[in-house]
């Protein structure tokens, strides 16, 4: 199997579009990138194409002929599509990174954030699962604290962008916002309640016994897997906010050891994948708009959780901070691409300049 071609399945969706953008930034040649439609929205028309840098790639249907000779796949589609197409791709000898939740809890499939548990790729199977976007952003932020000081417990409140629910959710927020400003109310379709000018509980199904929603359960279970069966308790509370793109999280931790604010800043500043934005004097902290289009997860507003009860330069064990991360980049497409790069694929010709937020269409 030649490994110089990569296929993006679900190339018209938000994650698929972002994967193509990242490949184009890395100057991966257009004739080695294949854009696939899942067929979920009907067969692609002959004229259908997707943008690839300044070029256009024809959209292919998935068939024995079109997948032949493609060595790497990023799947950016729904769970059912992943379950349907993965066996055939693996049989062909391809290496597949799947963004859906179809295989995340399968013990034979590594669930990987390269900065956190990249070692899980050593001797990896041909199928690798990308964790949930909120899990990736949370664990990337916690990684330096966990390694250096140990974690006793974690609380996280999420403020998730609507694009986490796919392309249709962005359209819904736009339409509802315009209608609301014109004094009209449009009924919700993607979300159970209006998204415009609102904050609401994550729409994933609630478990009747635990009261957890699906997103909260994913964070808990995926974190334990990625942390190799860790029993550190994580208390997530997931919300949607009328933000187009990039998830925010307020994280509160109890550490195993006391530490100071400066030590925490130092750990975050030197951690791969994080960028410290913690300027109290000028009120400069992470926001989803600053995080949009960025590979790094922004982190800041670091303070002792119990404020005046702790002298932050003497030290304490309870700390809170804010993170904002582009869930379409590090939370999905970038993480998938980093896995492929770590497995030796797609040595970048000109590793990507980060896109400016103005280049981001969503």
Ligand X SMILES: NC(=O)c1ccc[n+]([C@@H]2O[C@H](COP(=O)([O-])OP(=O)(O)OC[C@H]3O[C@@H](n4cnc5c(N)ncnc54)[C@H](OP(=O)(O)O)[C@@H]3O)[C@@H](O)[C@H]2O)c1
Measure the CA–CA gap between 152 and 142, rounded to whole angstroms.
12
Is residue 247 annotated as part of the catalytic site, yes or no?
A: yes
User: Closest approach of Cβ 166 to ligand X, in Å?
Assistant: 3
Binders of ligand X in range 126-145 (CB under 6 A): 133
- Rounded CA gap, 336 and 113, in Å? 9
Residues 191-230 vs ligand X: string with x where CB under 6 A? ----------------------------------------
Stretch that binds ligand X, among 172-180, 213-221, 299-307, 327-335 (CB under 6 A): 327-335
Of 247, 310, 316, 324, catalytic: 247
Check if 174 is active-site: no
100 vs 292 by CB, closer to ligand X: 100
Give the burial class of 160: count Cβ atoms within 10 A of its Cβ; 0-12 exposed, 13-18 middle, 19 or more buried. Answer: buried
Yes or no: say if 272 and 297 are a contact pair by the CB < 8 Å rule: no
Of 7, 13, 144, 273, which one interacts with ligand X (CB under 6 A)?
A: 13
Assigned token pair, 236 = 């997530």
Binding residues for ligand X, total number by CB under 6 A: 25
Residues in contact with ligand X, shown as a per-residue x/- string from 271 to 310 under the rule CB under 6 A: ----------------------------------------
User: CB of 75: closest distance to ligand X in angstroms?
Assistant: 8
CA 310 to chain centre: 34
Give the shortest CB-278-to-ligand X separation in angstroms.
26
**How far is 34 from 44, CA to CA, in rounded Å?**
14
Q: CB-wise, 146 or 329, nearer to ligand X? A: 329
Phi, psi of 83 (to 5 degrees): -60, -35
> If binding is defined by CB under 6 A, does position 261 make contact with ligand X?
no
Q: Distance between the two ends of the chain, CA-based, in angstroms?
A: 36
φ and ψ of 295, to 5 deg: -75, -35
Assess 99 for contact with ligand X (CB under 6 A). yes
Please report how close the Cβ of residue 171 comes to ligand X at its closest, in angstroms.
8
Alpha-helix runs per DSSP H in the chain: 14-25, 64-67, 79-91, 114-117, 133-148, 167-181, 214-226, 261-269, 288-291, 334-342
For residues 268 and 251, the answer to whether their CB atoms sit within 8 Å is no
* Span 26-85, contacts to ligand X by CB under 6 A: 37-41, 76-78
The percent of the chain in helix, strand and coil, each rounded to the nearest 5, is 35, 25, 45
Residue, CB closest to ligand X: 13
Is residue 6 within 8 Å of 28, Cβ to Cβ?
yes
164 is an interface residue for ligand X by CB under 6 A: yes
Kindly tell me which of 7 and 16 has the beta carbon lying closer to ligand X: 16
Which positions are annotated as active-site residues? 133, 247
Binding site for ligand X (CB under 6 A): 10, 12-16, 37-41, 76-78, 99-100, 133, 163-164, 166-167, 327-328, 331-332
């Amino acid at each position: 199997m030649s490994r110089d071609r990569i296929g993006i399945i679900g190339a018209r969706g938000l994650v698929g579009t972002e994967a193509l953008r990242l490949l184009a930034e890395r100057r991966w040649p257009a004739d080695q990138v294949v854009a696939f439609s899942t067929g979920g929205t009907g067969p692609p028309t002959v004229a259908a194409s997707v943008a690839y840098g300044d070029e256009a790639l024809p959209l292919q249907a998935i068939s024995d002929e079109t997948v032949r000779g493609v060595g790497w796949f990023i799947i950016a589609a729904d769970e059912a599509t992943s379950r349907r197409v993965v066996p055939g791709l693996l049989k062909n000898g391809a290496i597949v990174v799947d963004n859906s939740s179809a295989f995340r809890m399968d013990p034979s499939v590594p669930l990987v954030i390269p900065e956190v548990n990249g070692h899980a790729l050593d001797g990896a199977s041909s199928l690798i699962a990308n964790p949930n976007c909120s899990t990736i952003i949370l664990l990337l932020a916690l990684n330096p604290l966990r390694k250096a000081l140990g974690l006793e417990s974690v609380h996280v409140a999420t403020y998730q962008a609507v694009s986490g629910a796919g392309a249709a959710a962005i359209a819904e927020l736009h339409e509802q916002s315009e209608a609301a400003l014109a004094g009209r109310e449009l009924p919700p379709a993607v979300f159970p309640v209006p998204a415009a000018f609102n904050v609401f509980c994550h729409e994933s199904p609630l478990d009747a016994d635990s009261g957890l929603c699906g997103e909260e359960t994913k964070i808990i279970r995926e974190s334990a897997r990625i942390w190799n069966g860790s029993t550190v308790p994580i208390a997530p509370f997931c919300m949607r906010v009328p933000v187009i793109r990039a998830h925010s999280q307020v994280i509160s931790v109890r550490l195993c050891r006391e530490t100071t604010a400066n030590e925490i800043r130092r750990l975050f500043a030197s951690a791969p994948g994080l960028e410290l934005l913690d300027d109290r004097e000028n009120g400069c902290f992470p926001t989803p708009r600053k995080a949009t289009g960025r590979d790094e997860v922004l982190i800041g507003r670091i303070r002792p959780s119990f404020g005046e009860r702790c002298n932050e330069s003497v030290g304490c064990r309870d700390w809170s901070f804010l993170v904002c991360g582009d869930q379409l980049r590090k939370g999905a497409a970038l993480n998938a691409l980093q896995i492929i790069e770590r497995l030796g694929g797609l040595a970048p010709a000109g590793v990507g300049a980060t896109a400016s937020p103005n280049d981001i269409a969503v």
